[in-house]
């Protein structure tokens, strides 16, 4: 798994396995050198250049009251440290708002809703408020939301990348916020191009476990219903599927891998896929694909799990309430949210500069239900 991190991660450190009655997870601390340590304020600049705060403020406004030499020095320093004075927000900059902003791709998605519940619980315990904004899977909206919120009304971000951002591969808006000294914690859909604290599951291993389970139950012709490759979690889960087949000396057939672009309109594609392929098991990378596969199988006269075993990913409402109920990889959103909030609050409240970032890997587990033998 660690191979998936890029080479800018220069050191891999301790693995801690805490004891917990309900959940087991690994804590892997990945030490990364941050690009920029601390939020720069008027006060910092004043101290660094040994001038008054008022001189810094006036220099940044290019006031003729201040000598040209000092003005240039202050402006150069501010530029170097990416300090952008915002007239209105200036007085707010150093104020702790005790508010955390969460940016998620969509809200009609049980997993993200549970993550928010987890964030809320830890935030409230620590006296923080939570504001939620949606990117609606759009790069532009993600940028607008971050700019709006970074302007002074929040202390830090917890976010999961939009499809648009992952497809574009442009993360400048996140880097800018971090450079300004505002901490960011990413969860689930992350990028290795940004150095910050992260909470993820090991998607590849979890997918491998799911496919191994189907093989263990005797299935031999196993298909995959997944997303397009630029969605990081879909890509990792696809890798896990391929790995499991190879380990078990099963042939990977391209035609058995269905990649779906438009999640909301997948019914026809999935029905055609099940009709046209001779499979006895299928791994779906989310629960919507899984329940749609079950409905399609029923329509085509196939019994689940007798003729087709179905295993999903993410243990949401659908998996529990559909008939048959769906065997699934449980990705605990509440735990992920709690860990993300803890990482962010620790960073906000820790006066010491922590030069290293943490990536926490939350372990998944299989929930066995009726859709597999």
Enumerate binding residues for a second copy (CB under 8 A): 88, 91-92, 95, 97, 99, 107-108, 110, 113-114, 116-117, 120, 124, 129-134, 136, 141, 144-145, 148, 153, 291, 317-318, 321-323
Distance (Å, rounded) from C-alpha 66 to C-alpha 184?
Answer: 36
CB-wise, 116 or 362, nearer to a second copy? 116
Nearest distance, CB of residue 157 and a second copy, angstroms: 13
Work out the number of other CB atoms within 10 angstroms of the CB of residue 24: 12
Closer to a second copy by CB, 134 or 284: give it: 134
For 7-65, give the DSSP string.
TT--EEEEEE----SS---EEEEEE---S--S---HHHHHHHHT--HHHHHHHHTT-TT
Nearest to 331 by CA among 171, 125, 187, 165: 187
**Cβ atoms of residues 74 and 26 within 8 Å:** no
Strand partners, 159: 103, 186
Count of residues making up the chain: 373
SS3 300: coil
Q: How far apart are CA 106 and CA 110, in angstroms?
A: 10
Which residues, in sequence order, are CB contacts of 18 under 8 Å at separation 6+?
Answer: 25, 27
Q: How far is the CB of 245 from a second copy (least distance, A)?
A: 29
Comparing CB distances to a second copy, the nearer of 207 and 326 is 326
Nearer to a second copy, 124 or 247 (CB): 124
Shortest CB 296 distance to a second copy, Å: 13
Q: Closest separation between CB of residue 303 and a second copy, Å?
A: 13
Query: Looking at beta carbons only, is 86 or 272 nearer to a second copy?
Result: 86
For a second copy, give the closer residue by CB, 145 or 179: 145
Nearer to a second copy, 11 or 321 (CB): 321
Compute the least distance from the CB of residue 255 to a second copy, in Å.
Answer: 28
What contacts 24+ positions apart, CB below 8 Å, involve 142-149?
Answer: 142/103, 142/173, 143/173, 145/101, 145/103, 146/103, 146/173, 146/174, 146/177, 147/173, 149/101
Give the DSSP letter string of 110-136. HHHHHHHHHHHHHHHHTT-EEEEEE-T
CB of 190 to a second copy, least distance (A): 22
Q: Whose structure tokens read 């496919």? A: 211
For a second copy, the closer CB: 137 or 219: 137
Which tokens in the block code for residue 258? Answer: 């269905």
Taking the complex as a whole, the smallest distance from the CB of residue 136 to a second copy amounts, in Å, to 7
User: From CA 347, how far away is CA 353, in angstroms rounded?
Assistant: 8
CB 289, min distance to a second copy, A: 13
* Residue 93 vs 347, nearer CB to a second copy: 93
172-179 and 139-150 helices cross at what angle (nearest 10)? 10
The CB-of-94 to a second copy minimum distance in angstroms stands at: 11
**Maximum CA extent, the chain:** 84
């Amino acid at each position: 798994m660690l191979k998936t991190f890029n080479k800018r991660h220069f050191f891999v450190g301790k693995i801690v396995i805490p004891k917990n009655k309900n959940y087991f997870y690994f804590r892997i601390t990945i030490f990364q050198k941050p690009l920029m340590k601390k939020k720069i304020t008027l006060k910092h600049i004043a101290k660094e250049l040994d001038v008054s705060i008022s001189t810094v403020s006036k220099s940044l406004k290019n006031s003729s009251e201040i000598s040209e030499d000092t003005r240039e020095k202050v402006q150069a320093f501010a530029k170097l440290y990416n300090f952008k004075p915002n007239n209105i927000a200036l007085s707010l900059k150093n104020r702790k708002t005790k508010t955390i902003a969460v940016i998620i791709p969509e809200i009609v998605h049980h997993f993200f809703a549970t993550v928010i519940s987890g964030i809320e619980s830890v935030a409230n315990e620590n006296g923080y408020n939570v504001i939620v904004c949606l990117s609606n899977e759009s790069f532009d909206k993600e940028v607008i939301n971050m700019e709006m919120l970074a302007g002074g009304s929040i202390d830090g971000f917890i976010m999961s990348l939009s499809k648009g951002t992952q497809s574009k591969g442009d993360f400048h808006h996140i880097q800018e916020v971090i450079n300004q000294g505002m901490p960011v914690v990413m969860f689930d859909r992350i990028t290795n191009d940004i150095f910050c604290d992260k909470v993820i599951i090991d998607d590849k291993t979890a997918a491998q476990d799911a496919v191994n389970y189907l093989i263990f139950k005797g299935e031999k012709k196993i298909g995959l219903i997944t997303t397009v490759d630029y969605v990081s979690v879909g890509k990792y889960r696809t890798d896990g599927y391929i790995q499991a087949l190879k380990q078990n000396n099963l042939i990977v057939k391209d035609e058995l891998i269905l990649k779906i672009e438009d999640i909301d309109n997948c019914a026809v594609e999935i029905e055609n896929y099940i009709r046209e392929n001779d499979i006895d098991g299928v791994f779906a990378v989310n629960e919507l694909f899984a329940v749609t596969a079950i409905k399609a199988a029923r329509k085509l006269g196939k019994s689940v799990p007798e003729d087709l075993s179905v295993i999903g990913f993410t243990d949401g409402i659908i998996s529990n309430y559909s008939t048959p109920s769906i065997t699934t990889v449980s990705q605990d959103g509440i735990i992920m949210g709690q860990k993300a909030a803890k990482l962010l609050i620790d960073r906000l409240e820790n006066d010491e500069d922590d030069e290293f970032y943490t990536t926490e890997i939350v372990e998944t587990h299989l929930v066995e239900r009726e859709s597999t033998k």
